[in-house]
Structures are given as C-alpha cells and as structure tokens.
Chain A
Amino acid sequence: TQLLEQSPQFLSIQEGENLTVYCNSSSVFSSLQWYRQEPGEGPVLLVTVVTGGEVKKLKRLTFQFGDARKDSSLHITAAQPGDTGLYLCAGDRDTGNQFYFGTGTSLTVIP
C-alpha cells in the first residue's frame, strides 16, 4: 500500500501552460517535502511545508499544504522546458525518522 498517492502519474504539456500536481493521503504528516529528480540523478529538495494551510512560493512554483496536513499540491505557472523532470512528494510522521514518498509525477514540457 502507498501512503502518499500522487496524481497525475504522467503529464505532458506545452511551454507556457499551467499545471497542478497533487499529493494525497489519509494520514497526517508532520511535514511534507517536494523534490524534483532528473534522469540519472538523486532527488533534489524544492520545498518543505510544515503548517496546515501553508503556502510557499518559489519563483513560478507554488506549494500548498492542506489544512488537515494530509495533502499537498504543487502548481507551476507558465511551465518551461527546464521544469521537465520527476516530481516527488514525501512526508514524515515523526521528524527525522521515516519518510514516505509518493509514486511521483513525470512532467514533460514541450518547447
């Protein structure tokens, strides 16, 4: 069983379009992280959200943590080809111990 479900699994869009990736669970998390992974490399941390309802912006990327701390979303405005990659959400229920990863969303931005 997967503790964190991501949707969609695959996404292919044109440059300039907007998109949203979802990360959902029935469990409560102490914090939730978003990572981007490029082929042949390890995931790289984008953001951590810790407070229910929290919204963080990173240039064209907006991250939101659900009020109940069970879900999160990643919104990209005006996608660029450089945004192409695998986006992973991860949550921890006890800080510093076990992290649970979502299944990932593979994003392709076509020039």
Chain B
Amino acid sequence: NAGVTQTPKFRILKIGQSMTLQCAQDMNHNYMYWYRQDPGMGLKLIYYSVGAGITDKGEVPNGYNVSRSTTEDFPLRLELAAPSQTSVYFCASSYSSEQYFGPGTRLTVT
C-alpha cells in the first residue's frame, strides 16, 4: 500500500505558466481533497471530491481547477500561475472523518 502519492515534490514556475499537480491513492477512498499550506496559516481547502465525477469548491478555489475521472486520481491544475500561488500543496483522501495525506508538493512561482 503506497497510500497517497503526489508528484512532483518540488517545482518552480514562471508567472503565467501552467502545470498539473498529480495525486493518487490506492486505498479506494471516495473522498479526496486538495489543500494549500502557507507559513503560519494552517491548511486551506482548495477543492474536494466525494467520488469519481463529482468535485466541489473549498475555501480558496480561485486560480485552480480539478477533475476526478477515477476513484484513484485527483489532479490539481494551475492555469496561469501567480506569485500568490507559491505554497506547499497537500492532497488527502478519506473514507470518513480521518484523512490521509500525501507528502506534499512545494511550488514556487517567480
């Protein structure tokens, strides 16, 4: 069991570039989440999904998009990167109230 995996681990983007952060889980969890973590700010929910084909906005969705074509995968897309999107991004999955997190992607936009 790999749990929740995320790629890449680090990435530097120029302003205006786009990229996709990958997230996969092998626990057959229906629920999946994307968070961003800024220093001293805890985790903020970007998007979440309650099952394949269903996604919904969290607290801070602007500038991001997601899709959930399978139970296992939940990619996060940044279309036009901005410096405000510099952060550490965590993907998580759950089957109830207990979330399992991936190792994170550290993204810098310059």
How many residues of chain B are within 8 Å of chain A by beta carbon?
A: 28
* Chain A 13-33 near chain B by CB (<8 Å), digits 1 or 0: 000000000000000001101
With an 8 A cutoff between CB atoms, is B99 at the interface?
Answer: yes
Contacts of A33 in B (CB 8 A): 97-99
Q: Would you give 20 A-B contacts (Cβ < 8 Å), ordered by A?
A: A33-B99, A40-B103, A40-B104, A41-B103, A41-B104, A42-B92, A42-B101, A43-B43, A43-B101, A45-B100, A88-B43, A96-B95, A97-B50, A98-B45, A98-B58, A100-B45, A101-B35, A101-B42, A101-B44, A104-B40
Q: How many A-B residue pairs have CB under 8 A?
A: 67
Q: Is A2 touching B42 in the complex (CB atoms < 8 A)?
A: yes
Are A103 and B41 also in contact (CB < 8 A) when A41-B103, A42-B90, A48-B97 are? yes
Closest to B102 in A: A42
Q: In the complex the two chains form, what is the Cα distance from A30 to B98 in whole Å?
A: 12
Contacts of B102 in A (CB 8 A): 42
Q: Is B96 touching A95 in the complex (CB atoms < 8 A)?
A: yes
Q: Is A103 touching B42 in the complex (CB atoms < 8 A)?
A: yes
Contacts of B42 in A (CB 8 A): 2, 4, 6, 88, 101-104
Contacts of A102 in B (CB 8 A): 42
What is the interface residue range for chain A against chain B?
20 to 34
With an 8 A cutoff between CB atoms, is B31 at the interface?
Answer: yes
Q: Is B45 touching A96 in the complex (CB atoms < 8 A)?
A: no
Q: Which 4 A-B pairs have the closest CB atoms?
A: A42-B101, A101-B43, A31-B97, A101-B42
Enumerate A16-71 residues with CB–CB distance to B below 8 Å: 30-31, 33, 40-45, 48, 50
Q: In the complex the two chains form, what is the Cα distance from A103 to B38 in whole Å?
A: 10
Contact of A99 among B40, B45, B50 (CB under 8 A): B45
With an 8 A cutoff between CB atoms, is B65 at the interface?
Answer: no
